[in-house]
Amino acid sequence: MTKPVLVMAQINPLVGDIDGNCQKILHFIEQASEIHEASLVVFPELCLTGYPPEDLLLRPSVERRVERALEKICQAVQDHYIILGYPKIFGGALYNVAGVVHRGRIIAEYCKHILPNYQVFDEKRYFTAGTEACVFEWQGLQVGLTVCEDIWTSEPIAKAKHAGANLVLNLNASPFHQNKQHERESLLLQRFREVELPVVYVNMVGGQDELVFDGGSFTVDSAGEIATRARSFEEQLVAVQLSIDVESRGVSFLGECVDHSSELESVYQALVLGMRDYVDKNRFKSTIIGLSGGIDSALTLAIAVDALGPERVKAVMMPFRYTSQLSRDEAAAQAKMLGVDYQSISIEPIYDSFLNALSSSFEGMAPDKTEENIQARSRGVILMAISNKTGALVLTTGNKSEMAVGYATLYGDMAGGFAVLKDIPKTLVYRLANFRNSFGAAIPQSVIDRPPSAELAPDQVDQDSLPEYEILDQILALYIEQDCSATQIIERGFDRDTVYHVLRLVDVNEYKRRQAAVGVRITQRGFGRDRRYPITNGWLIGD
């Protein structure tokens, strides 16, 4: 007897493009049938709208658009069972729904029970929580449905088992952060130990503003083992053959089981995918980077080329009297190495024009950070002018360490549309640069080895005004990602004055971060939708 085939449809939808997502779903259904002879195809959570749809869910026409798309899918589905996610109103309330389509109609619907409202999630703003289990029959099995966060608590899957489920499908839009795949798999193995039910976990893939969905769909069989695992960061159909024990209704899965990626590989892939989808989904044909000869812009350039290809990336060196010859030479060398369009435009005449225009306003005042910021803003003007003229998206190059302490200039090096390193601490920047070079030279070694400097003053290095990055990044991780107090950080062995200095810099620079470009989130607490502190406040550091 032929073993039934289930396909995990790990797709990359576009938020708000309900018609386009519908066509993608129909295409993947056709491919699953023709290539894999699938009888059941599982799509991710809210795949019709994309995730997170945010306030698009409040638009009056969203219900009509979803209904039209579901009608098209129903008309196309006969012998298959298609499980997909969409929003739907029942009794005047909006629910996050997983529906089962078979023989031209929706035969079952499940409303997500557990609505996450932490970190990047805000589902209680839009949805009402469901309460009832949903089980349907397929291939002699009773199949239970759950959606994403439902699997992170015990009750929903226990309800599915109580309703008679022999197999559970879990539809996900689970965003990436470091070590996330290990967390998911450990969690599902824990759920298995509680209920002893096999689970099919299907996750979305793709970039959506600051979020990246990494896929990594997988199955846990009736022996409590990870049986199959899809590739991460790739849109794909993953065919899984099922063997069903007639007496016990136990299930075993046969299919591809790829190895886990390393931490650095996962982060780098997330950055590449996040940039590619931001540029492509927002329909930018090209990008432009201010290439300084430093490590941050060098890594940004390498990511951009890997994401988009060299023909869609332009690099501009904007030297000044403080720009070293090493910076000039290595910027040009990297641009040539990666095959990107390269140009050098001096900011000397622009800077001098600004100072001449401001001479009466600055009369009697000594030079200070103002003149340094004018250098950065001169560069910002150049990049934004080229962007306006050509339509290229400006890629900013600041990292998380700099954004945390305000080591960036508003309307200068912060000017731009996408900040791929926004959630990458400086120490991780160096590790990623070496990782990228491990599979092909992309960043000159001298750029990695040199002391970091903004080169806004003679002989300037970052550590003139900041602690060593090894120390700084540890303090920042404790404060930003773990919400530790100054006292708790000091108790970890860090110098009191350094801790207070760093925490003060983080707090007073919230206004800058509110005006920063969106960037890829790779930690459990990035500067974006999951960290919300007031700009105006009287909070004092300490206990």
CA dist list (Å): 150 to 131, 153, 280? 11, 6, 32
Spatial separation of the C-alpha atoms in residues 283 and 281, rounded to whole Å: 5
Alpha-carbon radius of gyration of the chain: 26
Respond yes or no: is residue 148 known to be catalytic: yes
What would the two tokens of residue 442 be? Answer: 């992309």
Q: Which of 112, 161, 400, 512 is catalytic?
A: 112
Helix (H, G, I), strand (E, B) or coil at 316: strand
By C-alpha distance, which of 354, 359, 357 is closest to 375? 354
- Residue 453 zone, left/alpha/beta (φ > 0; ψ -120 to 50; rest): beta
What would the two tokens of residue 223 be? Answer: 């022996």
Angle at 193 between CA 189 and CA 194, to 5 degrees: 120
Phi/psi of residue 511, nearest 5 degrees: -65, -30
* 8 Å CB contact between 255 and 30: no
What would the two tokens of residue 17 be? Answer: 């493009």
Q: Which of 148, 159, 330, 422 is catalytic?
A: 148
Contacts of 438 (CB under 8 A, 6+ apart): none
Q: Which of 45, 109, 123, 330 is catalytic?
A: 45
Respond yes or no: is residue 37 known to be catalytic: no
Handedness of CA 6, 10, 15, 16 (dihedral sign): negative
Contacts of 82 (CB under 8 A, 6+ apart): 29, 40, 41, 43, 73, 100, 101, 102
Respond yes or no: is residue 54 known to be catalytic: no
Q: What is the DSSP secondary structure assignment for residue 228, as one 8-state letter? A: E
| Neighbour count for residue 532 (Cβ, 10 Å) | 8
Residues designated as active site? 45, 112, 148
